[in-house]
Amino acid sequence: MKIKTKTRKLAFCFWLLLITAGIATYFLFPEKINLSFLRELSEEHHTAALIIYFLILSARGLTMIPSTPLLLAGVLLFRPAELFAVNMAGILVSSTIVYYFSQYLGFDTYFETKYARYAGKIRNKLTDKELPIIVGWSFFPLVPTDLIVYVGSTLRVHVFKCLLGVFIGEAVLNSFYILSATMILKI
């Protein structure tokens, strides 16, 4: 039991260190972390930029950062089709991480306290109509998709069904965001 607690603390400390390092880098080197620098870097090292973008999206679920700001930044850096593919892959990996590690990393406590009202409602509705609820929740932009994945995990909704629902809902939403932002930028 003590080993599990130590491992949990270590994972939490690593998570905090990662967030702190990102914020510190932004404040210490603001001239390096700006749009023109990122655009030039992504053009020079396109494959590496896509891989880094994918890794950030994949780890995003551990930080509870919504994917929308990353998607909008990606619109400025990548072509629409590749952005959609990488974004959806990153969201699915992130959702898988949340699905399997939410209780281990203590997200269950976080969601139950921060989103207690939503979690209870979802839990009641999800028992009857799992896939349509997950699709609808994932499509609605004002609620965290990670919350539905967490609840699906605690209710033991099959991981494939959970990820399929997230994929369908997020695919529609991301397509809309990417196409809208791309058209606005062309004006």
pLDDT digits (tens, 9 = 90+) for 72-124: 888 888 899 999 999 999 999 999 988 888 767 766 677 677 777 777 777 77
Residue 53 structure tokens: 């973008």
Q: What is the domain count for the chain?
A: 2
- pLDDT for 10-34, tens place per residue? 776 776 776 677 667 767 777 766 6
| 33-62 average pLDDT score | 79
Given a contact cutoff of 8 angstroms between Cβ atoms, the answer to whether 68 and 177 are in contact is: yes
| 176-187 average pLDDT score | 86
Rounded Cα distance, 83 and 77, in Å: 9
Confidence at residue 124, expressed as pLDDT on a 0 to 100 scale: 75
pTM beyond 0.75, yes or no: no
Q: Residue 6 belongs to what domain range?
A: 1-33
Rounded Cα distance, 42 and 50, in Å: 8
Same domain, residue pair 168 and 118: yes
Per-residue burial over 61-89, b = 16 or more CB atoms within 10 Å of its CB, e = otherwise: bbeebebeebbeebbebbeeeebbebbbe
Same domain, residue pair 81 and 117: yes
pLDDT band at 57 (very low <50, low <70, confident <90, very high): confident
Same domain, residue pair 1 and 63: no
CB atoms within 10 A of CB 175: 14
Rounded Cα distance, 50 and 37, in Å: 15
Same domain, residue pair 15 and 62: no
